[in-house]
Structure formats: C-alpha cells, structure tokens
C-alpha cells in the first residue's frame, strides 16, 4: 500500500552535523511556508572520514526517524551521505522520488549550463573517492571532463570560524592552484560548508569560472519536486503552528559550541535539541 502525503507535513533534512544548515537555510528562504525538521548527526561527524558502510547505516536510521516524524520529503543535505547512503535510504523508506540528494540537482544544473565543458568538483575525501559527481555528470553528458579534488581541510577550517580572512584565502588558493583544476569552466562546491567560502573561491578565479553553490540549486529542486507531487505548502504560516517558530533542529550529540557554530550556517540563532536516535 502506498502512503499518501499532504502539503502541511514537514520536510525532513539531515546532515552529518550542522553544515547542512546551509541547505536548510536555502530551503526556508525559498519556501517560507514549509515547516522543516532538521537532524544533524553530530555524534558521528565528520562523515567525510568514515566508511561507506557506516554512513549508509547512519543515513537509513536518520531517514527512518524523519519518516516517523511524519515528513513528506527527506532531503539528504550532506554530500557524503548522498554519495554513500542515497540508494539505501530510497529502498528502506520506500519514499522514492520524495527522497532528495544534493548531487543529482547539481549534476543536472551543470550539464544544462556547461554542456561538454570542463567541470571541477571539490568535496570531502569520501565524496571524491566515491566518484559520484563524475558518474552522475557523465551519465547526462558523456563528453564532460570532470576533475575532482578532495579538500578535507576546508570543512573543519570553516567550522572553526576561519573564512573570509587571510588564512582561509591562503588555504583555498593553495588547493585551487593544483594543476588538476586548471582551465575549468565551472566548479561545484560539493560540501555543505563551502557556500561560506564561495566569495573567496570566486576571488581566486575572477569571473572566468562559475562557482556552483549546491544549496541554492537543491532548494529549487525541492520546490520543483513538491510542485510535481502537489505537496508544496502554499498556505500562510503559523495558523496550524507551522512556519518559522515551529522549525525543529535535532542533533545526536549536543554541545554549546555546536549551537554557537550553527549560527554561521543558518544566518540566525538555532535552538538545537539533543535526540540520540541510537539510544531510543
Ligand atoms: N556534511 C559533509 C558533506 O557535505 C561535510 C562534513 C563531514 O565530513 O561530515 O560532505
């Protein structure tokens, strides 16, 4: 029996930690009527250094939690979890195209705007070693030249507040100077944290390279999928308790420092609630 959903149900969003709040922020900006339930797996982060098997099992467990919370859609905001866990999440939840990952929308966008060109991807070690961006882009454009570089220092650097300063610019320049990325036409920011250093990356390239912020593209994609399934919430917020005030943010391990850092990713203060789904 297939489950039916309705527009007033929340959108579930999950990530390895709090970086996925960049995706949550883009979704709430574009779709202010939607209620979101966010889950950050801070107990297991960073996923970028974990095995694919571990990430798969974490992802399925979190998706089941969000389904239990009555979500009409689940967005895997984390690139690393999208690479390792997407297929398993689709299979285990049975929610089919109401499961959104962050890689397919970016691949579709880049093929549309940079057909047969040279595309760079920067991401965590796990995402790069999975080769997922190259596979998805090549499936749509076999002639595209996809070059990928792991940039593992960037996520912890940003989390520690190092962005828009001399130190971060030096580290970014050093990564982007690698010969692999020479003469690219576009660069996909394949990690939740990288929108925060988009300006610094753009500064390195000037206008010659399009820097693709996947959080914005994913938010557009979420809108399109909800419209297609007639699940977009068009009613004004709050009458039923939906909207900004009822957004919920869960983490599997709470620390004060996560709560403080979350502000840089979401633009405003976020109240994090500890909920360890592995102990329930
Ligand atoms: N959220 C992860 C991603 O987008 C980055 C942080 C991590 O390694 O857990 O790949």
Query: Tens digits of per-residue pLDDT, 133-147?
Result: 999 999 999 999 999
CB atoms within 10 A of CB 161: 13
Residue pLDDT, tens place only, 105-123: 999 999 999 999 999 999 9
36 forms bridges with which residues in the sheet?
A: 11
Residue pLDDT, tens place only, 8-22: 999 999 999 999 999
How remote is the CA of residue 192 from the centroid of ligand 1, in Å? 6
Write down the pLDDT at residue 19: 96
Cα–Cα distance for residue pair 103/5, rounded to 1 Å = 24
How remote is the CA of residue 184 from the centroid of ligand 1, in Å? 24
Specify whether domain 103-214 bears CATH 3.40.50.1860.
yes
Write down the pLDDT at residue 269: 87
Helix (H) or strand (E) holding 189, with range, is strand 186-189
Which member of 123, 191, 231, 251 is catalytic? 191
Which atom of ligand 1 approaches the CA of 191 most closely?
4
CB-based burial of residue 268 (10 Å sphere; 0-12 exposed, 13-18 middle, 19+ buried)?
exposed
Pocket (CB within 6 angstroms of ligand 1) = 15-17, 19-20, 45-48, 78-80, 124, 127, 155, 191-192
| Nearest CA-CA partner of 244 in 32, 21, 7, 31 | 32
Query: Is 71 among the residues known to form the active site?
Result: no
Q: Ligand 1 pocket: which of 13, 14, 16 to mutate (most atoms <8 Å of CB)? A: 16
Show the tokens assigned to 9: 């149900």
Residue pLDDT, tens place only, 190-219: 999 999 999 999 999 999 999 999 999 999
| Alpha helices, H only, 69-146 | 79-93, 103-113, 125-130, 132-140
The two domains 11-101+216-279 and 103-214 share their CATH topology (first three levels equal): yes
Three-state DSSP class for 133? helix
Residue pLDDT, tens place only, 240-271: 445 455 799 999 999 999 999 999 999 998 99
Cα–Cα distance for residue pair 7/258, rounded to 1 Å = 31
Domain layout of the chain by residue ranges: 11-101+216-279, 103-214
Specify whether domain 11-101+216-279 bears CATH 3.40.50.300.
no
> In which residue are the tokens 């929340």 written?
10
| Nearest CA-CA partner of 92 in 58, 60, 53 | 60
Show the tokens assigned to 252: 């599997």
Task: Specify the pTM.
Answer: 0.95
Helix (H) or strand (E) holding 264, with range, is helix 256-266
| Nearest CA-CA partner of 55 in 18, 23, 83, 96 | 83
């Amino acid at each position: 029996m297939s489950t039916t959903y309705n527009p007033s149900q929340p959108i579930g969003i999950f990530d390895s930690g709090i970086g996925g709040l960049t995706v949550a922020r883009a979704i709430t900006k574009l779709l202010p009527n939607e209620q979101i339930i966010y889950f950050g797996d801070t107990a297991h982060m960073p996923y970028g250094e974990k095995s694919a098997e571990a990430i798969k099992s974490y992802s399925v467990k979190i998706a089941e939690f969000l389904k239990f919370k009555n979500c009409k859609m689940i967005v895997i905001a984390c690139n690393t979890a999208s690479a390792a866990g997407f297929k398993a999440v689709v299979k285990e939840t049975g929610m089919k195209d109401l499961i959104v990952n962050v890689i397919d929308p970016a691949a579709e966008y880049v093929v549309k705007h940079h057909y047969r060109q040279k595309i760079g991807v920067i991401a965590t070690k796990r995402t790069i070693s999975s080769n997922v961006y190259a596979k998805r882009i090549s499936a749509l454009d076999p002639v595209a030249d996809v070059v990928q570089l792991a940039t593992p220092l960037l996520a912890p650097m940003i989390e520690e507040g190092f962005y828009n300063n001399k130190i971060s610019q030096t580290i970014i320049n050093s990564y982007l100077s690698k010969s692999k990325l020479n003469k690219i036409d576009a660069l996909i920011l394949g990690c939740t944290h990288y929108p925060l250093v988009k300006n610094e990356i753009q500064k390195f390239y000037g206008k010659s390279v399009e820097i693709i912020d996947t959080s914005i593209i994913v938010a557009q994609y979420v809108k399109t999928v909800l419209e297609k399934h007639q699940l977009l919430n068009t009613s004004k917020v709050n009458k039923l308790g939906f909207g900004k005030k009822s957004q919920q943010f869960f983490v599997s391990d709470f620390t004060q420092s996560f709560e403080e850092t979350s502000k840089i990713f979401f633009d405003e203060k976020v109240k994090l609630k500890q909920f360890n789904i592995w102990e329930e």
